[in-house]
A = this chain, B = another copy of it.
Amino acid sequence: MPEGQRKSKQPTIREVAAHAGVSPMTVSRTLSGGVYVRPDVQERVLRAVRELGYHRNEIARSLRPGQSSGLIGVAITNLGNPYYGNFALGVEEVAARHGRRIILGNTGEDPARERQLVSDFIGRQVEGLVLVPSGRSGEHLSSDELGGVPLVLASRSLDGLDADTVLLDDVGGAAGGTRALLDAGHTRIAFLGNARSVFTGERRFEGFVRALAERGLVPDDALVERDQQDVAAAETATRRLLDLDHPPTAIFSANNRNSIGVLHEVARRLRSGAALEAMPALASFDAFELAGLMPVPVTIVDHDPRELGREAARLLLARLGPEPSVEPSRRVEMPVRVVTAT
């Protein structure tokens, strides 16, 4: 924490009062609606405020008992990912509409950093927390640890932690995307996704398996690649798949990064003279731009991260009433849409 900084030139309520020839109380009252203050006095006060460039010190204000900071702590894993950028935007939007500001931290998928952030947020008296958890454990997130500050988990759930949660319909979406491939006649379908340890990775694989099962199929282990964290790894995994003696005719990709990797590899092969007919169809959980311009058929499991953020904020705000709402925690699954790119 930075210590001993620049003396802010911010005028205080007392200076405004002196400037206007009234008491601080009169300034305070004027600024809070002006009931019980004579109009002409208000005029004078407001003029002083303008002349001095006075801004009420919200920090001092929120120190008073019964006042809240008006701050919502938001910790996400990667702001640079448009998915989370839009998520944060949704939270900000709803929070702002309710007079709250968000204070934002990026965890970079690092549980230690997440822990620091959460602790700092609590220290800053946030009214609530929205968190995309980066680990599997939620011990630092118990209601006790948080001093009763309400918490909403987003995108991922946490074992053994009872908290409001917003998720995508991962299972349904993955099943839907897979069904689209099955409906197109594919039976050898590969799966590209996150590591087993990632919550969404597990759920989307579950949806994939479920859709296959509906048609009496089971996943072929040789066609399942689950450890790609970035585009390059996805590209390599795709290469391996397509080099198999008996390659898949379609690929279900559990996220955006993997989908891009698949397409890069497909493009590489086409440039090398591979036949378009030999290229796999793709179904992708997560949209990506220009899907309609791809050489192979692309099905998208689309969803709205911004709406997910809005919903997270809504759940949180519902807990911020005067009464420390004791309702049981809620779990919301946001719908997804299966669309074939045009």
- Where the two chains meet, the residues of A that have a C-beta atom closer than 8 Å to any C-beta of B are 1-11, 53, 55-63, 65-71, 78-82, 84-86, 88-89, 92-93, 96, 98-106, 119-120, 122-125, 127, 144-149, 260, 263-264, 267, 288-290, 292-295, 306, 320-324
Contact A147 B6 (CB under 8 A): no
Asked if residues A79 and B89 are in contact (CB atoms below 8 Å), the reply is yes
Query: Does B88 contact A81, Cβ atoms closer than 8 Å?
Result: no
Q: Can you give 11 A-B contacts (C-beta < 8 A)?
A: A1-B58, A4-B67, A5-B67, A57-B125, A58-B123, A79-B85, A79-B92, A89-B106, A101-B120, A101-B124, A289-B290
Which of A4, A9, A70, A124 has the largest count of B CB atoms less than 10 A from its CB? A124
- Nearest-neighbour CB distance to chain B for A323, whole angstroms, equals 8
Q: How many copies does the complex hold?
A: 2
Chain B contacts for A78, CB-based, 8 A: 89
Are A293 and B292 closer than 8 Å at their CB atoms?
Answer: no
Q: Cα distance A103–B71 when bound, in Å?
A: 9
Pick the most buried of A9, A127, A294: most chain B CB atoms within 10 A of its CB.
A9
- Return the chain B residue nearest A93 by Cβ: B106
C-alpha gap A80/B88 in the complex (Å): 8
Q: Which of A57, A65, A79, A127 has the most CB of B within 10 A?
A: A79
Tell me the bound Cα distance from A145 to B149 in angstroms: 35
CB distance from A97 to the nearest CB of B (A): 12
